[in-house]
Amino acid sequence: MKSVFVFISAIMLLSLAALASASYVNITEPYRVTIMQNGSLYLGKVGPGQTFYVTISAATTNNTGAPVALGWDELFASSLPSGWLTQNSPLYGTYPSVKVTVAAQAPNGTYTFNLTAVNFGNYSKVGAIRMRAYVNVTPNVFNLSVSPSMISAGPGQPYPVYVTINNTGVSDSPFVITVHGLPGWNISKTVIALHSTVGQFAYPIYENEPNVYHMQVYVSSISSPLIYKQSNITLTTRATLASDYSALGQGTLIFPIVYAPAYSVMYIISLIARHV
């Protein structure tokens, strides 16, 4: 009985030693996690047509447990879904990064593909690590908020609305901000909210004719028109004493320079009135 116990204990110690000395992959993007051989990796959400990256650290340990600073020479993806594209990482980098682009018309759902970290020629005795990656394809990869929703400004006077984009996906693809419903408006702004971050962007809106305008601030991914959200706002354009004062702070004055101090006071009054 004692010999059986000793045998089992020896097997357990050998298994633990093998585990301790096994090579691994440290994922650094889209988030940090350590993966062992044949491990699984859920990447998160990505929209149709979007591009994302999986990045690893080249550092690992070899089969004796010794640290290897540049163990992984390349990271590549394989067995991708139909219509998807990939670009292997550059060779011998400190942080190998593979690029993956989702098919433009990919239906919603969970997709899988393989990732492999390679040590060419196994010169560092780390072999290769194979992983199974999962990603959820959906157009719902960001949240949108716009403030204020009610705007009052003088004719031709730009008023900034603040567009907040919470990028809940794994792609860093840019977003385009524009307005729908404002006559003759064709001004857009391209912005970047990195994956898993929140970005706020000022977007000035104006109209030359006095009226009440109901419109939508429209945000879409540059990668696909299927990825978009919109928020309703109202712009009331009318001439008031405050807006006339505020207009003095825009552009170049052509009146005599002696009036400049008065214009400055009027513009400050308009700023105070706007925030009261």
| Topology of the domain comprising 142-237 | Immunoglobulin-like (2.60.40)
Q: Is the peptide bond before 174 cis (omega within 30 degrees of 0)?
A: no
Most confident of 133-147, 149-163, 177-191, 236-250: 133-147
Q: Tell me what the mean pLDDT of segment 29-38 comes to.
A: 94
Higher pLDDT, 178 or 125: 178
The better pLDDT of the pair 19, 173 is held by: 173
Q: In percent, how much of the chain has pLDDT > 70? A: 79
- Residue 241 is predicted with a pLDDT of 52
Given this chain, do its domains 23-137 and 142-237 carry the same CATH topology? yes
- Domain layout of the chain by residue ranges: 23-137, 142-237, 240-276
Check whether 36 has a pLDDT greater than 50: yes
Per-residue pLDDT for 27 more than 80? yes
* CA–CA distance, 73 with 88 (Å, rounded to integer): 11
pLDDT: which is higher, 13 or 56 = 56
- For position 65, what pLDDT does the model report? 77
Instruction: Tell me how crowded residue 107 is: count the other CB atoms within 10 A of its CB.
Output: 9
- pLDDT tier for residue 22 given thresholds of 50, 70 and 90: low
**pLDDT confidence band for 256 (50 / 70 / 90):** low
Q: Looking up tokens 């794994």, which residue turns up?
A: 170
Instruction: Look at the domain 23-137 and name its fold.
Output: Immunoglobulin-like (2.60.40)
Cα–Cα distance between 186 and 71 in angstroms, integer? 51
208 to each of 38, 158, 182, 236, how far by Cα in Å? 62, 10, 11, 11
Mean pLDDT of 210-232: 96
| Choice between 27 and 239, residue whose per-residue pLDDT is larger | 27
Residue 55: what pLDDT?
96
Residue 251 or residue 208, greater confidence: 208
Q: Which pLDDT value is given to residue 69?
A: 81
**How high is the pLDDT of residue 67?**
81
What string of DSSP letters covers 103-147?
-TTPPSEEEEEEEEEE-GGGTTS--EEEEEEEEEE-S--EEEEEE
Tens-digit pLDDT profile for residues 60-110: 887 777 788 878 999 999 999 999 999 999 998 999 999 999 999 999 999
Residue 227 has pLDDT above 50, yes or no: yes
pLDDT beyond 90 at 175 = yes
Q: Span 105-122, mean pLDDT?
A: 93
